């Protein structure tokens, strides 16, 4: 069983829209992919909005399904753990996992989008229309209204299925126009939480001969309690840094508005970064402050219209999962379409399966912000992570750290959270009893406890 071939309109040619268009075309559907922007491959990158993604299993698995995984891997930089920078310059390292394949891949979002657009171009069943900003749509007929006029109609579809009622997927990001239309339907719930911190990008340029000026195979973090700086490596030797800083409070983002103020903050908070960013103040003052939002909404579908990716469930970036989850959406949606006989039923089933995971991820991402900026440097946190790795090594199938489940498996997010809660109870008890010292002598006794936990998962 599978849904009948259709002409699907996909709004948004970002990561989700491009990947979905490719998957739908490969499944035999005709796709029209619209984006409000001109072709990003022709206009280049907005300064200060380049964004590096930490890609991991869910996203890479989804990309493998359209044959892109190897190319994404070839263009990314593996990061094997977190390198923490204390104010006094001392460094500590936390590996992401216990196996070499437990690493993240630092990938430029624009480069990945360009690669996906290339895959779109290779598929004759997809037609792409850039510069088409969706303003509204008719939920009953699926008719689209763009800023530059209504959808061109039947003349251009002479050889495709007819327009009326064709499925529409809103993959148009956190500020989705498709979602805005659904919002006007009875019973639509929307929760939109802005983080009290904004972000700004900076660049650490490559050193002599294109060498990285920090250790390349790590995600660097300068955790400072109420704020933090991170840096992700690029293949050209540079690092993309992101400063997360409070929007309000004693020293709000907007107060960092002069070269002196910026340099003062970096000299006190991130002294080891100061010499690495030659044009620190200039770049800081030029680049925009980005905002971060969590979107929870329901229903994600109305008849033959569906929200996907950030349009359905934008999350803050602190678990490095927004794009990974958006791409995994495409995998799950295609599975559901293959098992369904009609599009509206498939869209309803997709939300039933996926919504609990999107909600779990939203919470995880918010919690991880506190962890990254405040806890990663604490002794207790480090002891717990060491203990987790010990248990995972000793009982690889029964005790799997939450981070490993989220990042290096496709265990549904909500299930990973439930399983981690049970593991946490054990972990906290062990840490308060003496942690690793106790463990060294009591691994045998622990086996029974862990086996019982594993048996309940």
CB of 31 to ligand FAD, least distance (A): 14
Please tell me whether residue 324 binds ligand FAD under the rule CB under 6 A.
Answer: yes
Instruction: Give all strands (DSSP E) within 380-428, no chain letters.
Output: none
Residue with smaller CB distance to ligand FAD, 316 or 387: 316
Please tell me whether residue 384 binds ligand FAD under the rule CB under 6 A.
Answer: no
CB of 378 to ligand FAD, least distance (A): 23
CB of 1 to ligand FAD, least distance (A): 28
**β-strand pairing of 168-170 with 7-11:** parallel
Please tell me whether residue 320 binds ligand FAD under the rule CB under 6 A.
Answer: yes
Please tell me whether residue 405 binds ligand FAD under the rule CB under 6 A.
Answer: no
Contacting ligand FAD (CB under 6 A), which of 97, 166, 299, 317? 317
Contacts of 62 by beta carbon, 8 Å cutoff, 6+ apart: 19, 327, 328, 330, 331
Please tell me whether residue 109 binds ligand FAD under the rule CB under 6 A.
Answer: yes
Please tell me whether residue 9 binds ligand FAD under the rule CB under 6 A.
Answer: no
Q: DSSP 3-state assignment of 55?
A: strand
Contact 157, 7 (CB under 8 A): yes
Nearest Cα to Cα of residue 409 among 20, 59, 52: 59
Give the integer Cα–Cα distance in Å for 140 and 142.
6
Please tell me whether residue 76 binds ligand FAD under the rule CB under 6 A.
Answer: no
Contacts of 214 by beta carbon, 8 Å cutoff, 6+ apart: 83, 204, 220, 231, 233, 239, 276
Please tell me whether residue 198 binds ligand FAD under the rule CB under 6 A.
Answer: no
- Chain positions 14 to 33 lying near ligand FAD, rule: CB under 6 A, are 14-17
Please tell me whether residue 299 binds ligand FAD under the rule CB under 6 A.
Answer: no
For residue 275, with 0-12 CB atoms within 10 Å meaning exposed, 13-18 middle and 19 or more buried, which class applies? exposed
Please tell me whether residue 294 binds ligand FAD under the rule CB under 6 A.
Answer: no
Contact 174, 7 (CB under 8 A): no
CB of 316 to ligand FAD, least distance (A): 8
Q: HSE on the CB side for 438, CA within 13 Å?
A: 15
For residue 455, with 0-12 CB atoms within 10 Å meaning exposed, 13-18 middle and 19 or more buried, which class applies? exposed
Helix boundaries (H) for 183-278 = 259-269
CB of 412 to ligand FAD, least distance (A): 16
Q: What H or E segment, with its residue span, contains residue 306?
A: strand 305-307
Please tell me whether residue 287 binds ligand FAD under the rule CB under 6 A.
Answer: no
Residue with smaller CB distance to ligand FAD, 298 or 324: 324
Residue with smaller CB distance to ligand FAD, 14 or 299: 14
CB of 205 to ligand FAD, least distance (A): 20
Contacting ligand FAD (CB under 6 A), which of 48, 166, 309, 401? 309
CB of 380 to ligand FAD, least distance (A): 26
DSSP string, 195-217: EEEEEEEEEE---GGG--SS-TT
Residue with smaller CB distance to ligand FAD, 134 or 337: 134
Please tell me whether residue 134 binds ligand FAD under the rule CB under 6 A.
Answer: yes
Residue with smaller CB distance to ligand FAD, 290 or 454: 290
List residues near ligand FAD by CB under 6 A: 11-17, 34-37, 51, 53-54, 109, 133-134, 171-173, 177, 199, 242, 290, 309-310, 317, 320-324, 326
């Amino acid at each position: 069983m599978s849904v009948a071939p259709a002409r699907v309109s996909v709004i948004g040619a970002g990561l989700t829209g491009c990947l979905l268009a490719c998957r739908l075309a490969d499944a035999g559907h005709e796709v029209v992919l619209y984006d409000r922007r001109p072709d990003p491959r022709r206009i280049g990158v907005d300064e200060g909005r380049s964004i590096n993604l930490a890609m991991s299993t869910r996203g890479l698995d989804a990309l493998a399904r359209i044959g892109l995984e190897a190319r994404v891997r070839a263009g990314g930089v593996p990061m094997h753990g977190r390198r923490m920078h204390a104010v006094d310059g001392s460094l500590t390292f936390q590996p992401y996992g216990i196996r070499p394949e437990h690493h993240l891949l630092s990938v430029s979002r624009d480069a990945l989008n360009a690669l996906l657009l290339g895959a779109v171009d290779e598929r004759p069943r997809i037609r792409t229309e850039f510069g088409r900003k969706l303003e509204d749509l008719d939920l009953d007929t699926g008719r689209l209204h763009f800023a530059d006029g209504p959808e061109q109609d039947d003349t251009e579809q002479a050889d495709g299925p007819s327009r009326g009622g064709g499925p529409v997927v809103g993959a148009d990001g956190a500020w989705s126009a498709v979602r805005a239309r659904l919002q006007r339907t009875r019973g639509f719930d929307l929760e939109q939480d802005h983080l009290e911190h904004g972000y700004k990008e900076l660049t650490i340029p490559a050193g002599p001969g294109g060498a990285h000026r920090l250790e390349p195979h790590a995600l660097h973090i300068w955790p400072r309690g109420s704020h933090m700086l991170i840096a992700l490596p690029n293949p050209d030797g540079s690092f993309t840094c992101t400063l997360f800083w409070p929007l309000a409070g004693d020293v709000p983002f907007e107060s960092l508005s002069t070269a002196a103020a910026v340099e003062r903050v970096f000299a006190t908070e991130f002294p080891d970064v100061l010499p690495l960013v030659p044009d620190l103040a200039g770049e800081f003052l030029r680049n925009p402050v980005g905002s971060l939002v969590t979107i929870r909404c329901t229903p994600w579908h109305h008849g033959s219209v569906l929200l996907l990716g950030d349009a359905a469930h934008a999350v803050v970036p602190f678990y490095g999962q927004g794009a990974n989850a958006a791409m995994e959406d495409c995998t799950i949606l295609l599975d559901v379409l293959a098992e369904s006989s009609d599009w509206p039923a498939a869209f309803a089933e997709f939300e039933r399966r996926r919504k609990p995971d999107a909600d779990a991820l939203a919470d995880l991402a918010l919690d991880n912000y506190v962890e990254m900026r405040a806890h990663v440097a604490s002794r207790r946190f480090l002891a717990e992570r060491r203990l987790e790795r010990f248990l995972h090594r000793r009982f690889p199938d029964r005790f799997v750290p939450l981070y490993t489940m989220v990042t290096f498996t496709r265990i549904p997010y909500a299930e990973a959270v439930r399983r981690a809660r049970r593991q946490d109870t054990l972990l906290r008890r062990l840490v308060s009893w003496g942690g690793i010292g106790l463990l060294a002598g009591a691994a045998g006794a622990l086996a029974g406890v862990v086996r019982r936990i594993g048996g309940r998962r």
